[in-house]
Amino acid sequence: MVLGLGVLYFFLIFFNIAGEFLVNTAGFVIPAYYSLNALFSSGKADDTQWLTYWVTYAFLTVFESAINAVYWFPFYYTFKFVLVLWMALPQTGGAVIVFRSLIQPVFSRFFAETGTGSTSTNLRSQADQATGKSI
């Protein structure tokens, strides 16, 4: 019965019958369960994994809406479904791979810590100096 529901779910996505809803549901339900499980566990590694997933999923969603990808690529939701499952399943670690390959190289210079503190701290101190405020 579970296998039949899985095949029906994939069939509906493949033929884009409520594809956006079904893919977003898969992108939220499975990771939300594992994220809650990670929050209640004592280890930190699973917290990092799921924070990485949510950041990666957010960038995917913003990028998707910016280029309106569904109109440009046939079977878009099928590919997105496979990508979201690959990113969400803890066994594959896909979100970490996407994050380290695409997101981290672009944004690391804004968030990397230097000898005197983080970039945001440096920017805050420069803004305070420019406005005459003291820390």
Q: What per-residue confidence (pLDDT) applies to 31? A: 93
What is the tens place of the pLDDT at every residue in 77-126?
889 999 999 999 889 989 999 999 999 998 888 886 655 555 566 666 76
pTM to 2 decimal places: 0.73
| 33 contacts 77 by C-beta, under 8 angstroms | no
